[in-house]
């Protein structure tokens, strides 16, 4: 009984399908025989072999058509923010490099030297003359530097100069490399907390890795070399890991706004809060290094200072003068350094507590304040000795 019913249903389905196909064919015949005016005309039958397609009907080569279709589908899936990130990465793909710092390793008997990697980091192309900008700590103590290019080729580079106090160094490729593109230089002056940033580098040796985040804070101060701080640093939540140091931090326009420099992680992990040297600092330092091989800053001239740690232990606030060169202008104006009393104990004479009414609490403050002047500017120092203050007017000179 069941089998007979199944056959009946099956035959009914087939009959219904044939009827539907017939209706569809009839509809197509009617459409083919009708003109726009609705009058029937003899159907013109044209051989597929003789018919010439119009310009709009020329078939696209299959690979190109497939690529276009995939692009349309991809664009439909991507958000505006994703498309922006992809475009920034595309623009900078030939601007970021990987740097390996090599130093000599001597065997136990000092009979042979072998070059071994000491560290590595990232860098970015500064100009079309082969200059590469990176962090000072990436190249520190190296004797040879190898730069891995975007096409995975390695080129040896030489050190042009460095600025330890800002953690900036410049290398130059040893041979011309076509295809490299200098990164677009932006500004850090008008950055806003919350704006999008993109970090590109080579974390853990994985080349050209991209991370995205926001500007978390501005105006941060981080310890630098030589007992002074790097100020006005950019804090970001974009992942910056070992190997990212020296790589570019970019805005949504693909312009350089900072150089990825340091990670702070309370747990001691390899990742954490990232900080970048602002591009306005980089723009101030790099051209001097390229031109002179070093950075020349405004300076009092002939004066050295006690380290801030020692001054704090002595509970002294200000920039404590350690020594003054006898032939210098400050010495002629009466500025003096430490001296020993009759018991042989070191005593403090002069402490700089202000520069042009700007309060100075440490040598770090004085160094940062001088960075805002130009060589040749005249400034008034407030100098304190034995509880009494006096002004000293002096013209700033270039540091050696």
pLDDT tens digits for 272-319?
689 999 999 999 999 999 999 999 999 999 999 999 999 999 999 999
Residue tagged active-site, from 122, 245, 362, 365:
245
User: Is 167 marked active-site?
Assistant: yes
∠ CA(385), CA(387), CA(391), 5° rounding?
Answer: 55
- Residue in 252, 107, 102 with CA at minimum distance from that of residue 171: 102
Q: Which fold has domain 96-173?
A: Thrombin, subunit H (2.40.10)
Confidence at residue 242, expressed as pLDDT on a 0 to 100 scale = 77
DSSP of 357-370: TEE--SHHHHHHHH
Across the chain, what does the average pLDDT equal? 83
Residue tagged active-site, from 167, 251, 308, 350:
167
**Which has the higher per-residue pLDDT, 25 or 309?**
309
- Residue in 211, 178, 186 with CA at minimum distance from that of residue 196: 211
CATH 2.30.42.10 fits 298-398, yes or no: yes
Residue 145, φ and ψ in degrees, nearest 5: -130, 125
Confidence at residue 151, expressed as pLDDT on a 0 to 100 scale = 87
Confidence at residue 42, expressed as pLDDT on a 0 to 100 scale = 43
pLDDT in tens, 313-368: 999 999 999 999 999 999 999 999 999 998 989 999 999 999 998 999 999 999 99
The DSSP H or E segment spanning 311 is helix 308-313
What's the predicted TM-score (pTM) here? 0.75
The yes-or-no verdict on residue 3 having pLDDT over 80 is no
All structural domains of the chain with their residue ranges: 96-173, 184-292, 298-398
Specify the DSSP class assigned to residue 371: T
Confidence at residue 324, expressed as pLDDT on a 0 to 100 scale = 97
Q: Is there a common fold for 96-173 and 184-292?
A: yes
User: Is 137 marked active-site?
Assistant: yes
Confidence at residue 6, expressed as pLDDT on a 0 to 100 scale = 53
Residue tagged active-site, from 95, 120, 131, 137:
137
Q: Which fold has domain 184-292?
A: Thrombin, subunit H (2.40.10)
Cβ atoms of residues 243 and 121 within 8 Å: yes
- Residue in 272, 265, 266, 149 with CA at minimum distance from that of residue 213: 272
Confidence at residue 54, expressed as pLDDT on a 0 to 100 scale = 45
Cα separation, 120 vs 97, whole angstroms? 11
**Mean pLDDT of all residues in 23-51:** 45
Cα separation, 195 vs 192, whole angstroms? 6
User: Is 245 marked active-site?
Assistant: yes
């Amino acid at each position: 009984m069941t089998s007979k019913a199944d056959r009946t249903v099956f035959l009914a389905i087939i009959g219904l399908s044939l009827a539907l196909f017939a209706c569809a064919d009839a509809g197509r015949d009617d459409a083919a025989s009708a003109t726009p005016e609705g009058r029937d005309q003899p159907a013109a039958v044209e051989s597929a072999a003789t018919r010439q397609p119009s310009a709009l009907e020329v078939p696209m080569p299959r690979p190109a058509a497939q690529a276009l279709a995939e692009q349309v589908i991809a664009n439909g899936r991507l958000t505006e923010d994703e498309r922006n990130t992809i475009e920034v990465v595309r623009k900078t793909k030939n601007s970021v490099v990987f740097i390996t710092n090599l130093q000599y390793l001597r065997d136990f008997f000092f009979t042979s030297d072998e070059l071994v990697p000491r560290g590595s980091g990232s860098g970015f192309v500064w100009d079309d003359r082969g200059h590469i900008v990176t962090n000072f700590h990436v190249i520190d103590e190296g004797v040879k530097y190898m730069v891995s290019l975007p096409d995975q080729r390695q080129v040896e580079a030489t050190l042009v100069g460095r600025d330890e106090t800002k953690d900036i160094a410049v290398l130059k490729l040893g041979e011309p490399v076509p295809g490299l593109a200098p990164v677009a230089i932006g500004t850090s002056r008008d950055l806003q907390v919350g704006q999008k940033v993109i970090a590109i580098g080579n974390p853990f040796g994985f080349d050209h890795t991209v991370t995205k985040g926001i500007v978390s804070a501005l105006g941060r101060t981080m310890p630098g070399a030589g007992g002074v701080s790097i100020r006005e640093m950019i804090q970001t939540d974009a992942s910056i890991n070992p190997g990212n140091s020296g790589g570019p931090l970019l805005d949504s326009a693909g312009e350089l706004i900072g150089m990825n420099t340091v990670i702070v992680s309370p747990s001691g992990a390899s990742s954490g809060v990232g900080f970048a040297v602002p591009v306005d600092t980089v723009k101030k330092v790099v051209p001097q290094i390229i031109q002179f091989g070093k950075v020349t800053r405004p300076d009092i001239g002939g004066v050295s200072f006690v380290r801030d740690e020692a001054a704090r232990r002595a509970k002294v606030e200000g920039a404590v003068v350690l020594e003054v060169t006898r032939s210098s202008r400050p010495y002629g104006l009466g500025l003096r350094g430490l001296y020993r009393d009759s018991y042989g104990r070191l005593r403090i004479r002069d402490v700089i507590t202000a520069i042009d009414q700007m309060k100075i609490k440490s040598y770090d403050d004085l160094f940062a304040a001088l960075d805002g002047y130009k060589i040749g500017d005249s400034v008034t120092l407030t100098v304190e000795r034995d509880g009494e203050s006096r002004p000293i007017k002096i013209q700033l000179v270039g540091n050696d």
